[in-house]
Amino acid sequence: MDLTEFMKFVSFERIPFALMVIFGTWLLLQLSMRFLNVLAERFTHRRLLFKQLGAIARFALVLIALMVVVGSLIQFSDEALLAIGGSIALALGFAFKDLLSSLMAGLILLFDRPFQAGDRITFGGFYGEVQEIGLRSVRLVTLDDNLVSIPNNQFLTGLVSSANAGALDQMCVFDFYIGCQEDFERAKVLVYEAAASSRYVYLGKPLTVALWEGPIEGTRDLFAVRLTVKAYVFDGRYEIAFATDVAERVKRAFRLHGIRSLGEVAC
């Protein structure tokens, strides 16, 4: 089937309608995304839900618009469909293989939900917040405010680690090192209180401090007492601020009570 024959199946009189559909879909997308973003900002504890709704709405609107536009513009007869079903379909399939696989992977991501919009995930060496699950790729904003686009189909075979899995709060882990001769009991209490008194901590989930003594990772000769705090931040967006706040409080408390950190001991 050549181009002139193919053009017979194109309904040119439906082009204005198709354009209207495209414009309407774009407008609807903009409005709905804006509305959902406003709701997400207003109700932070439902932020992830609104982001997820936004991803689903985007998918659905684009797919429906695509189907309506293609269906109205191109109307194949049975014979033409049979003809196309041959070599052209094969060629198109190969050409759009990756795109289609990304599209299908996007749908699977939406329904299987290994993560969702708003989650903080680690994938392929990148850690950040999932900003959007698009038709072709997932957009990740790293802590350095870099936008990373990862094709959807890569998530089907790769390992994804989600820090909050759909919840607003997420666990943060901080390590503090003190010298082996320091008062570890007091240090443990101080670290605990520093984390508990932070304005970012989520008190609805447990806060623990673990203690470990041994060589520091990557070294064989440097021994220290490691205090590991596992606490939840009430909103994943404040993860870094939480870490900073706890670190400041701990350092201040250590200084006040004469507990030397590993760096001070080594010096």
Partner 1 sequence: MIVRSGHRRWCLSRGISLKSVRGVVLGLALGLCPWTAPAQDPAPAETSAGAESVVPSEAAADPLALARYQLERLEDSEQRRRETARQSLQGLETRCQIGVQEAAEWLAEPPGEIGRQQGLDFAFANLEDCAMALHQWLRERRLLDPETEAPRVLVELLRQGQRASLATGASDAPWQSMQARLEVLVASRRQALDKELDEAVDMLLEATRSRWRLASKVSPQARARSAQSLFTELQDEIEVVPPILERRLERVYESSRRWPTLWMEVLALRLWLWEAMLLIVFVLLWRRGRKKSQDIGQRVVHWMGKRSHQRQGVPAAMALPLRSEGLTAAAAAVWVAALDSGLLLLIYVLLLHRMDGSAPWLCMVLLAITWRTLPALATLTIASPIERRPAFMVGNRNVRDLQVMTSRSVVGWALVSLLIVTFVRQGLVGYRLYELALLLTRWSFLVLVIFLLDRWAPVLRHQMRRLGDKGWSRWLANPARGRLANIFKAACAAIYLCLRVLLMGISRFFGGSKDFSWWTLRLARSDLQEDQLVREPLELEIRQRILDSQAVIAREDDLTWLGTSLEAWQQSKERDLAAIIGPWGAGKSFLLDSIEKKVASGEMAEGLRLRRWCLDQRLFGAEEALGWLLQCLLNEDDIEGELGEVDLDDALEGRQDHIRLLLEALPPSLFLLDDMHYLVMRAVGGFDAFKAVKRCMYESANRHFWVLTCYQPAWSYLEAVAVDVNLDLFRTRLTLTPWKEDELASWLSRRTEQAGFEIDYSRLVRRGPLDEESDVDLERARQAYWQLLTSASSGNPEVATLYWLDSLCQESGDQRLAVNLFAEPSLALLSERGDTALFVLAALWMHGRLDTPHLASVLNISMGTVETNCRFLDSIDMVNEKPGLGYALEGRWRPPVERLLRQRHFVYWKS
190 and 259 Cβ atoms separated by less than 8 Å = yes
CB closer to partner 1 out of 136 and 193: 193
Among positions 170, 178, 245, 261, the unique one binding partner 1 when judged by CB under 8 A: 245
Give least dist CB 251 to partner 1, A: 11
Nearest to 152 by CA among 110, 92, 96, 95: 110
Of residues 206 through 225, those in contact with partner 1 by CB under 8 A are 207
CB closer to partner 1 out of 162 and 198: 198
Give least dist CB 244 to partner 1, A: 9
Residues ≥6 apart with Cβ < 8 Å to 201: 195, 207, 231, 232, 233, 234, 242
Query: DSSP code of 224?
Result: E
Q: Is 253 in the site for partner 1 (CB under 8 A)?
A: yes
Nearest to 112 by CA among 148, 162, 147, 63: 162
The mark string for 113-152 relative to partner 1 (x by CB under 8 A, - otherwise) is ----------------------------------------
Q: Is 97 in the site for partner 1 (CB under 8 A)?
A: no
Give least dist CB 91 to partner 1, A: 46
The mark string for 167-206 relative to partner 1 (x by CB under 8 A, - otherwise) is -xx-------------------xx--xx-xxxx-xxxx--
Question: b/e map of 87-122 (b: 16 or more CB within 10 Å)?
Answer: eeeeeeeeeeeeeebbbebbbebbeeebbbbbbbbe
Rg (CA), the chain: 27
Other Cβ atoms less than 10 A from the Cβ of 195: the count is: 24
CB closer to partner 1 out of 172 and 190: 190
CB closer to partner 1 out of 153 and 261: 261
CB closer to partner 1 out of 103 and 190: 190
Nearest to 202 by CA among 247, 174, 238: 238
CB closer to partner 1 out of 138 and 172: 172
Amino acid type, 18? A
Other Cβ atoms less than 10 A from the Cβ of 64: the count is: 12
Give the C-alpha distances (Å, rounded to integers) separating 24 from 12, 16, 33. 19, 12, 14
Number of residues forming the site for partner 1 (CB under 8 A): 28
Of residues 3 through 42, those in contact with partner 1 by CB under 8 A are 39, 42
Among positions 234, 239, 243, 259, the unique one binding partner 1 when judged by CB under 8 A: 234
Please state the separation of Cα 150 from the chain's center in Å. 11
Among positions 249, 259, 261, 262, the unique one binding partner 1 when judged by CB under 8 A: 249
Residues forming contacts to partner 1 in the complex (CB under 8 A) are 39, 42-46, 168-169, 189-190, 193-194, 196-199, 201-204, 207, 234-235, 245, 248-249, 252-253
